[in-house]
């Protein structure tokens, strides 16, 4: 089977000593040198396939005594050589870096083709605008481009302080997956990502809180009102970027079909940019959301 060999992404091709070559430095893959091997490896550019390289090598590397296809296959098993055909494909234009990353960690880059297909919608107030803008830039760079889809797969609901619970009514009614992002004093809470009827919802979260804070139902009623005069939160630029990045990571995991950290869980970012905290949100016995599940 022919392929388009490329040297390991981001790794320099080096001479280690008189009898060895080395690909990369982290920690590096050591290869026994053979006559003609170094000039052969210098022909590899991710554009020529094995047959083409074999033909060029026959002409230009007279002392090459090794079977080219066999050596390249061997180096591929070692991880010194990759197959560049895996980095391109239908519906993956502009995602070469993503494809090299997925390939290098041993996954199938084909999963990236789902990114242009996923539809997102953002419901955000003025206070959450810049965080959402940052997340959208990262998502667009990562191949998620339907950021204002009329038929979204996920609705992100971002707000400064806890939002009015009214904003969750429609996505719950429509069975639309939704993800709250709350800029809360000195940190940003992401989650729980709600799949209506399948995972614990924001009402479950509120009912659990009401179990230990009897005033919570009365407080919930007032959320999202009188926010005009509120002092802006104490989340600095770096933490805001960190939270936007975590939001993008969650959305990409959803697009790629990988494990989500906010399903039935909350993830808090801050107050320091590197601070992360997660906690579980369980179904509440008196929430009606799991009736949807039974229906
Ligand atoms: Zn619920």
Domain limits of the chain? 5-87, 118-294
Residue-wise pLDDT for 109-122, tens only, equals: 998 989 999 999 99
199 C-alpha to ligand 1 centroid (Å): 8
CATH architecture of 5-87: Alpha-Beta Complex (3.90)
192 C-alpha to ligand 1 centroid (Å): 11
Average pLDDT estimate for 229-247: 95
CB atoms within 10 A of CB 6: 21
Residue-wise pLDDT for 14-55, tens only, equals: 999 999 999 999 999 999 999 999 999 999 999 999 999 999
Q: What's the count of helices (H) and strands (E) in the chain, helices before strands? A: 10, 11
284 C-alpha to ligand 1 centroid (Å): 6
85 burial (CB, 10 Å; 0-12 / 13-18 / 19+) is: middle
278 C-alpha to ligand 1 centroid (Å): 19
147 C-alpha to ligand 1 centroid (Å): 27
Q: State the chain's mean pLDDT as an integer.
A: 94
User: Cα–Cα distance between 39 and 60 in angstroms, integer?
Assistant: 9
67 burial (CB, 10 Å; 0-12 / 13-18 / 19+) is: exposed
Say yes or no to pLDDT of 249 above 60.
yes
172 C-alpha to ligand 1 centroid (Å): 10
186 C-alpha to ligand 1 centroid (Å): 27
Say yes or no to pLDDT of 94 above 90.
no
Say yes or no to pLDDT of 208 above 80.
yes
201 C-alpha to ligand 1 centroid (Å): 4
138 C-alpha to ligand 1 centroid (Å): 31
pLDDT at site 293 = 59
- What pTM value is reported for the model? 0.90
pLDDT at site 291 = 72
Residue identified by tokens 């760079």 is 141
pLDDT at site 51 = 95
202 C-alpha to ligand 1 centroid (Å): 6
244 C-alpha to ligand 1 centroid (Å): 26
Average pLDDT estimate for 238-260: 96
pLDDT at site 295 = 55
pLDDT at site 242 = 98
Q: pLDDT > 90: what percent of the chain?
A: 90
Tokens describing residue 185: 């004093």
CATH of segment(s) 118-294: 3.40.50.720
Categorize the per-residue pLDDT at 56 as very low, low, confident or very high, splitting at 50, 70 and 90.
very high
Closest CA to 118 of 88, 154, 157, 171: 154
Residue identified by tokens 């920690």 is 27
268 C-alpha to ligand 1 centroid (Å): 20
User: Cα–Cα distance between 289 and 115 in angstroms, integer?
Assistant: 29
Residue-wise pLDDT for 140-196, tens only, equals: 999 999 999 999 999 999 999 999 999 999 999 999 999 999 999 999 999 999 999
């Amino acid at each position: 089977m022919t392929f388009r060999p490329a040297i390991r992404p981001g790794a320099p091709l080096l001479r280690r000593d008189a009898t060895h070559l080395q690909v990369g430095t982290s920690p590096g893959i050591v290869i026994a040198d053979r006559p003609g091997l170094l000039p052969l490896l210098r022909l590899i550019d991710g554009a020529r396939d094995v047959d083409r390289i074999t033909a060029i090598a026959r002409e230009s590397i007279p002392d090459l005594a090794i079977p080219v296809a066999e050596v390249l296959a061997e180096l591929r098993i070692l991880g010194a050589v990759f197959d560049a055909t895996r980095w391109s494909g239908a519906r993956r234009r502009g995602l070469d870096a993503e494809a090299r990353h997925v390939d290098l960690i041993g996954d199938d880059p084909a999963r990236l083709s789902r990114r242009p297909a996923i539809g997102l919608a953002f419901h955000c107030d003025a206070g959450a605008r810049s965080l959402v803008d940052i997340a959208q830039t990262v998502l667009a760079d990562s191949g998620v481009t339907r950021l204002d889809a009329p038929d979204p797969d996920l609705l992100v609901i971002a707000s400064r302080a806890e939002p009015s619970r009214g904003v969750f009514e429609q996505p719950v009614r429509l069975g639309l997956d939704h993800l709250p992002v709350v800029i809360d004093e000195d940190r940003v809470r992401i989650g729980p990502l709600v799949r209506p009827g399948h995972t614990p919802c924001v009402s479950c979260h509120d009912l659990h809180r009401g179990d230990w804070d009897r005033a919570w139902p009365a407080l919930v009623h007032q959320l999202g009102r009188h926010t005009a005069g509120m002092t802006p939160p104490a989340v600095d630029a770096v933490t805001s970027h960190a939270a936007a990045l975590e939001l993008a990571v969650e959305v990409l995991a959803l697009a790629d079909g990988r494990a989500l950290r906010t399903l039935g869980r909350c993830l808090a970012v801050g107050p320091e940019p590197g601070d992360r905290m997660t906690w579980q949100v369980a179904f509440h016995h008196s929430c009606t959301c799991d009736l949807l599940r039974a229906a």
